[in-house]
């Protein structure tokens, strides 16, 4: 049996591990901690803004925008990943997670506009079922509901901004609900606390929510609520079924319930497929011979162990996760393998901070890290997700597309080897 290691428990690492384990590989996943999914919106962003961001025109047809974008940005990871792999990665995750409508690779990708927690509007490509009705439509009428005890959702500010946003004309009314979260003792609970309370086997809180909303909804309105309707996807289904009107969730700042649902479901699917998940395990280096990695040096339980590997996928993220670090002298380095890093020069975007943020690993089509001459540094090392340099995912709205597309590309490369 072929042993393969994956580093990182973000969307890129978990997706790669799942694909490999389903294909029969014995996968060990090492991760320092949980990944960035708890900071994500719970949607799948592929390419939100034309030209990455410059003019802030939302992309509608992702397929054609992707082709334009990669032609103009040959150093962006998408140029190596390709749209087919992005679609393959999205198809895989949506077919595994039952709270996403199943996407098929041959379908075109189109963006829709979603409200944010402060009432701005952003494009995204693939939505979970709980956000299907959150899509903003010209002329749409929305009842925006807030929760009295929920911090992180400023109801009136969000409503005011939504009414004035330039991208879509909508009518918005508000209703502040007073729900006794944790028996009414907590005044400023976060999204996770609310979601756990709605998940409770005791249905009183869900019934109270429905009672307060029912008295407010007018015919033709869609109800928008902050994304707190259960960590379990079934809780949202129960509540929206009981209300029997269109209900949509609005993503909140971290800890994001939408992102947590994806993280929990991917971890669960990996476990079901017998991925050996080792959390609190930091990969600190490797033993290599020529261009092959023979073993990983993994710090776990206070000591460093050498773990033999056949192939390795590095999905350890970028600065946020400590995979790429910048010291006080401004020196930037990749912290596990000492891989060469690059940051493309982009005309008109020569801000120092942006250049730092774009820094990451360059790869070939097989997602092997390459040196300045385009030669693979290690032939059995593959990179996926945010570690790939050249992008500004939060700005472009491309993070999940890069993660899932590179996961699919890594899987194809390992299968072909």
CB of 14 to ligand FAD, least distance (A): 7
Token pair recorded at residue 217 = 């909804």
CB of 20 to ligand FAD, least distance (A): 15
279: left (phi over 0), alpha (psi -120 to 50) or beta: beta
The smaller minimum CB distance to ligand FAD, of residues 136 and 209, is found at 136
Token pair recorded at residue 396 = 């472009």
CB of 99 to ligand FAD, least distance (A): 19
The smaller minimum CB distance to ligand FAD, of residues 155 and 388, is found at 388
CB of 98 to ligand FAD, least distance (A): 21
Binding site for ligand FAD (CB under 6 A): 7-13, 30-36, 39-41, 45, 282-283, 315-317, 320-323, 336, 385-386, 393-394, 397-400, 403
The smaller minimum CB distance to ligand FAD, of residues 30 and 147, is found at 30
Token pair recorded at residue 74 = 């040959």
The smaller minimum CB distance to ligand FAD, of residues 9 and 381, is found at 9
CB of 300 to ligand FAD, least distance (A): 10
CB of 63 to ligand FAD, least distance (A): 18
> 325 and 335 in contact (C-beta within 8 Å)?
yes
Instruction: Name beta bridge partners: 124.
Output: 112
In order of 69, 226, 279, 346, 373, the CA distances from 73 in angstroms are: 6, 36, 36, 8, 19
The smaller minimum CB distance to ligand FAD, of residues 240 and 281, is found at 281
The smaller minimum CB distance to ligand FAD, of residues 243 and 356, is found at 356
CB of 32 to ligand FAD, least distance (A): 4
The smaller minimum CB distance to ligand FAD, of residues 18 and 283, is found at 283
CB of 222 to ligand FAD, least distance (A): 23
The smaller minimum CB distance to ligand FAD, of residues 114 and 155, is found at 114
Token pair recorded at residue 342 = 């690059």
CB of 336 to ligand FAD, least distance (A): 5
The smaller minimum CB distance to ligand FAD, of residues 176 and 279, is found at 279
The smaller minimum CB distance to ligand FAD, of residues 233 and 259, is found at 259
CB of 407 to ligand FAD, least distance (A): 9
In order of 90, 123, 215, 339, the CA distances from 334 in angstroms are: 28, 32, 56, 6
């Amino acid at each position: 049996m072929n042993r393969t290691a994956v580093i990182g428990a973000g969307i890129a690492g978990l997706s790669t591990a799942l694909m490999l384990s389903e294909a029969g590989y014995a996968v060990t996943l090492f991760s320092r901690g949980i990944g960035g999914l708890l900071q994500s919106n719970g949607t799948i962003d592929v390419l939100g803004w034309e030209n990455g961001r410059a003019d802030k025109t939302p992309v509608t047809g992702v397929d054609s925008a992707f082709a334009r974008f990669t032609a103009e940005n040959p150093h962006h990871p998408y140029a190596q990943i390709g749209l087919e792999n992005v679609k393959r990665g999205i198809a895989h995750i949506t077919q595994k997670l039952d709270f996403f409508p199943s996407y098929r690779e041959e379908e075109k990708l189109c963006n829709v506009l979603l409200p944010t927690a402060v009432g701005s509007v952003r494009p995204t490509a693939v939505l979970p079922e709980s956000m299907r009705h959150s899509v903003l439509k010209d002329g749409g009428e929305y009842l925006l509901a807030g929760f009295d005890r929920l911090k992180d959702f400023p109801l009136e500010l969000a409503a005011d901004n939504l009414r004035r946003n330039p991208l879509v004309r909508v009518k918005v009314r508000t209703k502040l609900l007073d729900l006794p979260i944790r028996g009414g003792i907590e005044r400023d609970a976060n999204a996770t606390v609310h979601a756990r309370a709605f998940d409770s086997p005791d249905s009183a809180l869900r019934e109270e929510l429905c009672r307060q909303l029912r008295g407010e909804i007018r015919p033709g309105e869609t109800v928008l609520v902050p994304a707190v309707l259960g960590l379990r996807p079934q809780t949202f289904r129960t509540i929206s079924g009981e209300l029997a009107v269109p209900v949509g969730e609005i993503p909140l700042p971290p800890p994001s319930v939408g992102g947590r649902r994806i993280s929990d479901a991917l971890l669960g699917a990996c476990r079901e497929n017998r991925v050996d998940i080792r959390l609190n395990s930091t990969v600190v280096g490797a033993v290599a011979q020529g261009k092959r990695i023979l073993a990983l040096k993994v710090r776990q339980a206070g000591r460093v162990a050498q773990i033999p590997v056949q192939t390795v996928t590095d999905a350890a993220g970028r600065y946020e996760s400590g995979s790429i670090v910048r010291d006080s002298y401004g020196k930037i380095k990749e912290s596990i393998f000492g891989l060469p890093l690059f940051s493309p020069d982009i005309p008109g975007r020569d801000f120092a901070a942006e250049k730092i943020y774009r820094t990451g690993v360059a790869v070939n089509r097989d997602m092997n890290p390459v040196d300045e001459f385009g030669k693979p540094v290690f032939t059995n090392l593959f990179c996926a997700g945010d570690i790939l340099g050249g992008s500004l995912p939060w700005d472009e709205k491309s993070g999940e597309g890069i993660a899932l597309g590179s996961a699919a590309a890594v899987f194809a490369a390992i299968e072909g080897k």
